[in-house]
Structures are given as C-alpha cells and as structure tokens.
C-alpha cells in the first residue's frame, strides 16, 4: 500500500500562512468608487487599519486548496475516528443549505416572511421527537456539549419546580469527558459509577450511588465502548425509583437510529448530534447542532422560543409565551444551515433508510472487529458483538514490541487513513477506538484491516518505523504536549510570541 | 555520572513460601531454611537490573558484597562499586541499614532495593527524605507504596528516573508487626513517607489518562472537602498526605502526618490522638471521619489508623465517613479494603461507597 500526501513548500518552508503571502495593495475584488462614495459610514465606526492580508483571488484559492491537500477529510480518505461518526455528507444537503432562501434570511425578519424556514424547523422538530421517542425537541443548542448543558439545566429546572434539592448527577466511568463537565457547569456534583466486567454500567454500584440527592443519570447508549447497555430497563427503573431523571447523550445514536428509541428505553431527556448522526459536516470547529428532546412532563421548561403551528391560520409562529421556560440557551433559533442539512438527510433517507444505515454501520464495525482482533497485538477487552464502533486495546502490541496505540494511530496516516481516537475511553489501556460508519464500502474496510496487519508485522521487524511515523504526510509527528500546553491559535498570537 | 545504589535483601520473601508470614529476625529465618525455603530475591534483582536498558552504560552502580547486590550485578554484566562487606548467608537488617547509610553519604541519586516492607522500612529509617528510593517487590508483605508493580517495572522506572529525571512523590512506608501477623492479627503502622520516582503507569495499574497530578488532585479534593465541612461538628482526620492537604487548606500546618488529628469549627483542636481521646471529644458532638486509603492495597481502616477503632467508627456511623483518594491512589487498587478487627463492622462497611476524587467529583468504589 502506498500513499503520499501532497507537500506544498516554498523555499524550504511549508505553505506560508496567508499573512506571509500578503503584498501591499494587492486585492481580489473591489467595489465601484461611485458606490463607495455614496455609502456613509459614521466616523466612529471607521478603523484606520484592518490588518487583513492583501492578495488576489487566485492566490487565495490556491493557498486554501493547497492547505486542503495537506489535510485529511471524509471527502478524501477513510476517517474512522471513534465516537465522532465521520460519515460521508451527501452533497444534496449542502446544495439545499446553500439556497438563497436559506442563506439570505435574517433572524429578525417578520414571521410572515419566513414561513418556509419556520415550517422546516417545525417539521424537523417533529421528526427528531419521533426518532428519539420524546414529545418535544428544542433545536437551539449549537454543539453537542451545548446540548448537554441544556439537558442539565432542564434537570435542574424540573427538580426545582418540585421543590426538591437534588444535586448529584451520576455518570458511568466510560462516559465522554463532556458529561462530567456539563453536569458540573450546571452546578451539579458528579458521582462516577464503574463499569462491570462486561463493559456495561455496574448495577450494584448504580444502586448504591442513587439516593434522594440524585438529580439524573447521564448515559450514552450504545456506550463509549460501542456496547449496548442491555440492562437499560433495570437502570431506568433504578434511577426513576430514586426520583431522578435519565439523560441520553446522543453521541452514539448512529448505532441505534431507526431501530430503538431512547424515549422507549426510559430516557426523559434525549440529546442529538445532528453533525454526527444526521450527516452534516463537522470536525472543522463548527457550527454543529445539538438538539434536545424531552418527555411531556419536561416540555414546559424548554428554552424560548419554540416553533408552533397555528392550524386555524395555517401558519407557523414563534412562541415566547412559556412562563416556566428556562429562558434562552443561545441567540435566535439554532444553527439554521445545519438544521436544513439534517432535515434534507432525514427526507432523502426516509424512516426505512435511517434504519438501514444503522444496520450497515453496525455490520461494518463488527466486520472490522472480527478481522482486527485476529491480528497479533490487538485485542477486544469485552466479548460479544458491538454496535457502531469498536474499541481495540493495543496493550499486547505494546508489551511485545514497545509500539503503542499512539504509534499505530500515527502510522495509519501513512496509509492515507485518518487516525482512530486513541487513549479513549481511559478504562481500556492502549485504546484505539474505531468507528467505520455506514458509508464505507467493504474494500475500504479491507484496506484498513490490511494496514493494521502490516503495522503489527512492522512492529516486530522495524519498530523504529512506527516510532517515527508518520512519514508520508506533509508534517511529521508533532509535539502534542507542547501543542496543548502552549498553543498558537492565531497570527496575532504568533506575532506576539515572536516579539517576546 | 549518575549514581545508583542497589540493595538486595536476599532472604526477603523466603518466610512466605513456607507459610511463616515474613522473614524478619534470625530465628524465623532459620526456621524458614529448615522448612525448605529458597531465596527468591536474587532472581528478582536480576530481572530488575536487566530492565535498566541503555541507562546502564551511563551510571555508576554502587552496591553491597555477595548476594546483597554484587553477585546479581555481576551476573548482569555490571562492574559495581562495592561499599560494604557482609557475611554471605547471614545477612541482617543491620547490613541493609549500613549500606543505605553509606549510599546516603555517597549522595546516590536513587536507591533501588529488592525486598518487602521490612526492607523498605530499614532503608527509610536511615535515608528518610534525603534519597529517593524504589523497591522491587520480593517480600511476604508489600503494604508500603514504595514499590513498583513488578521487578521489571522497577528497573524501567529507575531507568527513566535516571535518564529523564522523573518527578518524585511521597509514598507511605508501612511497618507490620510480624509476631502479631503470625497470630492472624495485622498491626500495620504508618512509619513515614519516603520519596519515590513518580511514574504513573508502571508504578500503578495501566490506566493511562486517568492519572492526574497528585498534588493538584489533593488540593482539589481538599477544597471540596472543606466546602462540605460544617460548624459544630468534629472532623476526625486520619493519617496521610491527602488528609494533610485538607488540614493545610484550612490553614493548619502543625497537624501530624502519621497520626490522627481532630478538627472542630475549622480549627485543629488535638493532634496525634489516641482512641480514648477521640471517644472523649466526640462523646456529645456529631462527628465525621475523614480517611484516605493507606498503602498500596487500599485499606481505609485497620492499616496505619488503628486509633479510629471499631468503637469510634460505630459511634460516628457509616453515613458520616468521608473517604478521599486521588485518582492515582485509586488506580493502585480497584477496590478498597477494611480490617477494623471487628468482623461484624467490616461487613457493615462493605459494598459500594462514594469516594471524593476531585472538586465536585465522587467515584463509587467497592469496599471488600
């Protein structure tokens, strides 16, 4: 297998930043002088210098095209990064989201002029409520963790309305880090319950953890190990009997979509990641969308406004008259472009199609699990079939050869495959979390499996090759500690550092 | 050039194999030999030395004669500097102490030792906090937290410490009364805190990512514990560095590290108290016990904190026990243990309990 990433360099340096390419006076587009003369901008709003780079249009296009060629994306390579559901995003969704009717709306427009947009949000809300098995859904949150925070705020509002002081949120040790953080941000104490030897919530520990202090249990199902929590009914009963609510983290909904509904499992609050499960692009820093659905008894606490339909007038409207609402979670109504893409996706797939996608996602993950666990050096800690993702442990490989999960992840880049999530979840040593998604053909999965085999062989014969990987990429292995300890996130930060 | 001290207690672990629960003292040692005990420590020392890797070429190895280090070192291809002479086949605790003392004077960077709790205590008695130490487990009793999981990992941690300069942390040195142990009573005393290299993976279970920074974690736990504290309530602070962090967060700097302290209205009212003193103070006051697992095996009662006796625990009540543990400490052991000396009470304390592991954060951990 051979792969070589593009490496654009000039004068011994990688593609310079757009600021370094800037030349005074150069420009891509201009406005007619007469037009500029007619526009009167108040003096106080004018700035002397914008410090923007000055380039021609082709220079800009070439610059970003080059950068994109030195990167990985779902449109270019297999991207099995676990828990992120990096599935292919159909281009029709992009086309519809780019329509003038979607792009040129202003959120302050009168309701009568945006009936189409309101109808789309209303219908999407109905679809998501049906898919999640809940009675009403709020589309506002801009990201997954934002949705989690909303979920926790709803938990708080519910218990407060009953005059109960419940301040603990129970979270399994396999959960995403954001679950702990969201609960703490909403003012809750976090109680962590361990997983049992089957990789599922330990019921005995859960029973000891819940009490009159329990506000909620935050759970992902399938869980972070890609395993279905098969004792979910008992889990729900335990939490409900203690007076707590069940919060569903939608990170792994791609393993159950169209097959089972979280609401039917006993969840009271159901969170979705439209940018994962409903196929809108993500990974580039947003925007995302993390809608949150609730069962009937929690409806009255949802943020304002909700989109409602008035049958008598046959029109849609924004309802702010909700006295028990927790208020606003963000400006306006949600990441509208993402909502358009998700609604398009649901329509092109249909109920049946969504279920088929889940079947393919689960089949792909199990195929990869069966093949890779046979490769020396990799094992799966928990028995049985997985759902949409599988967590391998490279512990045997590390023990036998000194090659770590990180080395494996970096080496996969040399095969033109994006690295899986590694060292997460922390309950699996040397974890490699692989989520193929439903959009990968068997040939691509086989290519991944063959790469894992070759890496396992190389670990024994030429481990140095793996310790120094990647080598076929534009940039070699980075100092991850330095990157997280002293990141440089903008040109201005870079200039300030250089000055010091 | 870095200097590495090596002390092998050649008879460590011999008593255990023949059911003697320890090998401290001449008489027991002779009894062990008579029962057919074979030395286990030398092989472990060799396994440890073989894991020093490339650092072996850039260090000076300092050790004792014969089977207390020299033989094992030579077998691994070292040319060690031999600083003390022993009578082969008749090593004693005094030999260990003498060697440790000489190594301290020679300012070695680390003392690697092979043995059990007795060996750790003998070395600690002499070097205290002057020299970092690290043990490869070979003894019958390994309650102290100064040991790596295996001889191999001890070698690897030492190599990293000498080549990369790992940070050091405080680790409990426990002393077990062997005579009592043979009568099936375990009297474990917390002798002090030695300095050991901090290597979160090989020194503990392999849960990479779950191990934070000990001091920062202790501080977070202490902050949260203080927020949970109330007025008009006695807080019985067990021994250890995590509970000390709570005292320090309260501005108390003269508490005892190895004993039990009493805090009332956020002030220290008594230090290093006995069971009787605790019972007197809590006679007519509500109380909470704050303890942290002591040693490598996760005991929260019955090891190093016997002052918090069954009578004290019963008087305070199970629901008023607050257990604190850093994620590192919890990664040493997946369960907690109790051995109060009162079997009925131990049973009541078993099951899942909440353990404070950080600010606002509790883990459910099983007490067995």
In this model, does residue B210 exceed pLDDT 50?
Answer: no
In this model, does residue B212 exceed pLDDT 50?
Answer: no
Phi/psi of residue A324, nearest 5 degrees: -95, 5
- Evaluate whether residue B208 is within a structural domain: no
Closest CA to A414 of A359, A360, A488, A465: A465
Whether B315 and B359 map to the same domain: the answer is: yes
Whether B51 and B181 map to the same domain: the answer is: yes
- Evaluate whether residue B209 is within a structural domain: no
Closest Cα in chain B to A209: B364
pLDDT at B130: 93
Distance from A422 to chain B by nearest Cα, in Å? 11
Among B197, B227, B253, give the residue marking a domain's end.
Answer: B197
pLDDT at A374: 97
Residues A92/A94/A95/A100 CA torsion (nearest 10 deg): 150
Binned at pLDDT 50, 70 and 90, residue B16 comes out as low
B227, B256 contact by CB (below 8 A): no
**Which residue, chain included where needed, has tokens 């194999």?**
B17
pLDDT at A285: 64
Residue span of the structural domain in which B91 resides: 2-197
Interface check for B318 against chain A (CB to CB < 8 A): the answer is no
Closest CA to B294 of B321, B320, B257, B261: B257
pLDDT at A17: 92
- Evaluate whether residue B206 is within a structural domain: no
Task: Out of A190, A206, A426, name the one closest to residue B208 (CB).
Answer: A426
- Which residues are registered as beta bridge partners of B115? B137
Whether B242 and B339 map to the same domain: the answer is: yes
Cβ contacts of B262 within 8 Å, gap of 6 or more: B234, B235, B236, B237, B268, B269, B270, B271, B273, B277, B278, B281
Distance from A98 to chain B by nearest Cα, in Å? 42
pLDDT at B209: 34
ipTM score: 0.78
Closest Cα in chain B to A430: B208
Q: Residues of B243-259 as b/e, b for ≥16 C-beta within 10 angstroms? A: bbbbbebbebeebebbb
Whether B179 and B265 map to the same domain: the answer is: no
Interface of B with A in 139-158 (CB under 8 A): none
Average pLDDT over residues B329-346: 84
Total of domains in chain B: 2
Looking from the CA of A462 toward its CB, the CA atoms found within 13 Å total 8
- Evaluate whether residue B179 is within a structural domain: yes
Whether B24 and B91 map to the same domain: the answer is: yes
Binned at pLDDT 50, 70 and 90, residue B190 comes out as confident
Whether B261 and B345 map to the same domain: the answer is: yes
In this model, does residue B206 exceed pLDDT 70?
Answer: no
Determine the Cα–Cα distance for residues A118 and A318; give it in Å rounded to an integer: 8
Average pLDDT over residues B181-191: 70
Whether B161 and B242 map to the same domain: the answer is: no
pLDDT along chain A (500 residues), means of 10: 86 88 91 88 87 94 95 92 92 94 93 96 98 98 95 98 96 88 93 93 96 96 95 98 97 96 98 92 78 98 97 96 96 94 96 97 98 97 94 95 94 96 90 97 97 97 94 89 83 88
User: Measured between beta carbons, which residues in chain A are less than 8 angstroms from residue B368?
Assistant: none
- Evaluate whether residue B241 is within a structural domain: yes
Determine the Cα–Cα distance for residues A418 and B234; give it in Å rounded to an integer: 57
pLDDT at B211: 40
Whether B19 and B84 map to the same domain: the answer is: yes
Whether B134 and B229 map to the same domain: the answer is: no
User: Measured between beta carbons, which residues in chain A are less than 8 angstroms from residue B207?
Assistant: 426-427, 429
pLDDT at B186: 64
Whether B61 and B91 map to the same domain: the answer is: yes
Binned at pLDDT 50, 70 and 90, residue B200 comes out as low
Q: A–B: how many Cβ contacts below 8 A? A: 55
Interface check for B227 against chain A (CB to CB < 8 A): the answer is no
Cβ contacts of A274 within 8 Å, gap of 6 or more: A280, A288, A289, A290, A291, A338, A339, A341, A342
Binned at pLDDT 50, 70 and 90, residue B184 comes out as low
pLDDT at B21: 65
Determine the Cα–Cα distance for residues A125 and A135; give it in Å rounded to an integer: 10
- Evaluate whether residue B180 is within a structural domain: yes
- Evaluate whether residue B205 is within a structural domain: no
Whether B106 and B64 map to the same domain: the answer is: yes
With CB atoms and an 8 Å threshold, state whether B207 touches A209: no
Closest CA to B352 of B327, B315, B328, B323: B323
Closest CA to A369 of A445, A293, A303: A445
With CB atoms and an 8 Å threshold, state whether A426 touches B366: no
Cβ contacts of B168 within 8 Å, gap of 6 or more: B132, B195, B196, B197, B198
Task: Out of B207, B352, B361, name the one closest to residue A190 (CB).
Answer: B361
CA triple A59-A62-A64, angle to 5 deg: 110
pLDDT at B205: 35
What CATH number is given to the structural domain containing B151? 3.40.50
Q: Which two tokens stand for residue B196?
A: 């050991």
> Which residue pairs from B102-105 have beta carbons closer than 8 angstroms and sit at least 24 positions apart in sequence?
B103/B5, B103/B7, B103/B62, B103/B127, B103/B131, B104/B130, B104/B131
Determine the Cα–Cα distance for residues B351 and A38; give it in Å rounded to an integer: 79
pLDDT at B19: 66
A10: exposed, middle or buried (C-beta count within 10 Å: 0-12, 13-18, 19+)?
A: exposed
Determine the Cα–Cα distance for residues A483 and A475; give it in Å rounded to an integer: 14
pLDDT at B35: 78
Distance from B49 to chain A by nearest Cα, in Å? 18
Q: Is B172 helix (H, G, I), strand (E, B) or coil?
A: strand
Average pLDDT over residues B182-191: 71
User: Measured between beta carbons, which residues in chain B are less than 8 angstroms from residue A184?
Assistant: 360-361
Average pLDDT over residues B59-68: 94
User: Measured between beta carbons, which residues in chain A are less than 8 angstroms from residue B326?
Assistant: none
Among B197, B231, B258, give the residue marking a domain's end.
Answer: B197
User: Measured between beta carbons, which residues in chain A are less than 8 angstroms from residue B210?
Assistant: 426-427
- Evaluate whether residue B283 is within a structural domain: yes
Among B162, B197, B232, give the residue marking a domain's end.
Answer: B197
With CB atoms and an 8 Å threshold, state whether A208 touches B364: yes
> What is each CA distance from B128 to A269, B101, B111, in whole angstroms?
56, 10, 12
With CB atoms and an 8 Å threshold, state whether A205 touches B361: no
Range among B89-93, B108-112, B183-187 with highest mean pLDDT value = B108-112
Element (H or E) spanning A356, and its range? helix A336-372
Phi/psi of residue B154, nearest 5 degrees: -60, -45
Whether B193 and B276 map to the same domain: the answer is: no
In this model, does residue B257 exceed pLDDT 80?
Answer: yes
> Distance from CA of residue B280 to its chain's centroid?
31
**More confident call, A319 vs B12:** A319
Cβ contacts of A496 within 8 Å, gap of 6 or more: none
In this model, does residue B201 exceed pLDDT 60?
Answer: no
In this model, does residue B208 exceed pLDDT 50?
Answer: no
Delineate the domains of chain A, giving CATH numbers in brackets: 9-77 (no CATH), 95-348 (3.40.640.10), 352-485 (3.90.1150.10)
Q: Which two tokens stand for residue A160?
A: 């407060």
């Amino acid at each position: 297998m051979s792969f070589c990433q593009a490496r654009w360099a000039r004068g011994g340096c990688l593609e310079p930043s757009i600021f370094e390419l800037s030349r005074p006076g150069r420009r891509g587009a201009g406005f007619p002088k007469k037009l500029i003369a007619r526009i009167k901008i108040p003096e106080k709003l004018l700035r002397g210098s914008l410090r923007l780079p000055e380039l021609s249009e082709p220079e800009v296009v070439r610059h970003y095209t080059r950068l994109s060629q030195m990167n990985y994306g779902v449109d270019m390579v297999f991207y099995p990064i676990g828990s992120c559901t990096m599935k292919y995003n159909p281009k029709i969704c992009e086309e519809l989201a780019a329509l003038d009717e979607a792009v040129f709306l202003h959120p302050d427009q009168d309701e009568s002029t945006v009936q189409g947009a309101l109808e789309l949000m209303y219908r999407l809300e109905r679809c998501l409520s049906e898919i999640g098995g809940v009675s009403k859904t709020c589309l506002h949150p801009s990201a997954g963790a934002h949705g989690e925070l909303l979920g926790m705020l709803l938990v708080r509002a519910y218990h407060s309305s009953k005059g109960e002081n419940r301040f603990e949120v129970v979270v399994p040790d396999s959960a995403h880090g954001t679950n702990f953080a969201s609960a703490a941000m909403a003012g809750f104490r976090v109680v962590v319950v361990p997983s049992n030897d089957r990789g599922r919530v330990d019921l005995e520990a859960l029973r000891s953890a819940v009490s009159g202090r329990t506000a909620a249990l935050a759970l992902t199902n399938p869980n972070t190990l890609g395993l279905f929590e098969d004792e979910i009914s008992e889990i729900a009963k335990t939490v409900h009997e203690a007076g707590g609510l069940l919060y569903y983290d939608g990170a792994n909904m791609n393993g159950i979509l169209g097959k089972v509904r979280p609401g039917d499992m006993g969840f009271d609050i159901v969170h979705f990641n439209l940018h994962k499960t409903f196929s809108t692009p993500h990974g580039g820093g947003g925007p995302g969308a993390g809608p949150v659905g609730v069962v009937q008894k929690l409806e009255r606490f949802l943020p304002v406004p909700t989109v409602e339909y008035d049958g008598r007038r046959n029109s849609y409207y924004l309802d702010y008259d909700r006295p028990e609402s927790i208020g606003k979670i963000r400006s306006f109504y949600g990441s509208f472009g993402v909502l358009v893409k998700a609604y398009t996706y649901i329509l092109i797939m249909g109920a049946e199609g969504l279920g088929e996608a889940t079947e393919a996602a689960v089949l792909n993950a199990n195929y990869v699990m069966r093949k890779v666990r046979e490769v020396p050096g990799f094992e799966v800690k928990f028995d049985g079939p997985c759902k949409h993702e599988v967590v391998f442990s490279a512990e045997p490989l590390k023990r036998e050869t000194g090659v770590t999960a990180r080395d494996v992840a970096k080496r996969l880049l040399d095969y033109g495959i994006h690295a899986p999530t590694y060292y997460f979840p922390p309950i699996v040593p040397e974890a490699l979390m692989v989520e193929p998604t439903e959009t990968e053909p068997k040939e691509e999965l086989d290519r991944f499996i063959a790469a894992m085999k070759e890496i396992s062989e190389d670990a024994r014969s030429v481990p140095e090759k793996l310790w120094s990987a990647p080598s076929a990429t534009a940039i070699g292995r980075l100092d991850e500690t330095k990157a997280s300890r002293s990141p440089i996130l903008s040109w201005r930060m870079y200039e300030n550092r250089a000055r010091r | 050039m870095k200097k590495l001290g090596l002390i092998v207690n050649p008879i460590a672990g011999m008593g255990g194999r023949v059911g003697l629960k320890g090998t401290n003292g001449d008489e027991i040692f002779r009894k062990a030999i008579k029962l057919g005990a074979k030395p286990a420590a030398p092989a472990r020392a060799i396994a440890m030395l073989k894991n020093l890797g490339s650092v072996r070429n850039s260090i000076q190895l300092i050790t004792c004669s014969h089977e207390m280090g020299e033989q094992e070192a030579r077998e691994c291809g070292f040319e060690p500097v031999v600083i003390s002479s022993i009578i082969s086949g008749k090593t004693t605790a005094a030999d260990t102490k003498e060697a440790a003392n000489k190594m301290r004077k020679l300012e070695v960077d680390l003392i690697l030792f092979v043995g059990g709790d007795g060996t750790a205590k003998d070395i600690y008695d002499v070097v205290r906090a002057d020299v970092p130490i690290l043990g490869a487990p070979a003894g019958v009793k390994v309650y102290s937290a100064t040991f790596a999981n295996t001889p191999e990992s001890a070698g690897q941690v030492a190599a990293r410490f000498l080549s990369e300069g790992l940070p050091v942390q405080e680790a409990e040195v426990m002393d077990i009364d062997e005579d009592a142990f043979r009568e099936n009573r375990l009297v474990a005393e917390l002798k002090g805190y030695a300095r050991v290299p901090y290597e979160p993976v090989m020194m503990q279970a392999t849960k990479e990512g779950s191990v934070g920074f000990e001091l920062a974690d202790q501080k977070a736990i202490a902050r949260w514990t203080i927020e949970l504290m109330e007025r008009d309530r006695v807080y019985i602070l067990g021994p250890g560095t995590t509970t000390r962090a709570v005292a320090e967060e309260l501005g108390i700097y003269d508490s005892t590290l190895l004993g039990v302290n009493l805090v009332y209205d956020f002030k220290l009212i008594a230090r290093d108290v006995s069971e009787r003193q605790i019972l007197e103070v809590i006679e007519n006051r509500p109380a909470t016990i704050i303890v942290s697992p002591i040693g490598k095996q996760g005991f929260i009662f019955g090891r190093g904190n016997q002052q918090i006796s069954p009578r004290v625990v019963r008087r305070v009540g199970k629901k008023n026990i607050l257990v604190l543990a850093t994620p590192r400490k919890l990664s040493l052991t997946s369960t907690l243990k109790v051995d109060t000396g009162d079997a009925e009470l131990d049973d009541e304390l078993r099951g899942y309990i909440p353990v404070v592991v950080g600010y606002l954060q509790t883990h459910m951990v099983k007490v067995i």
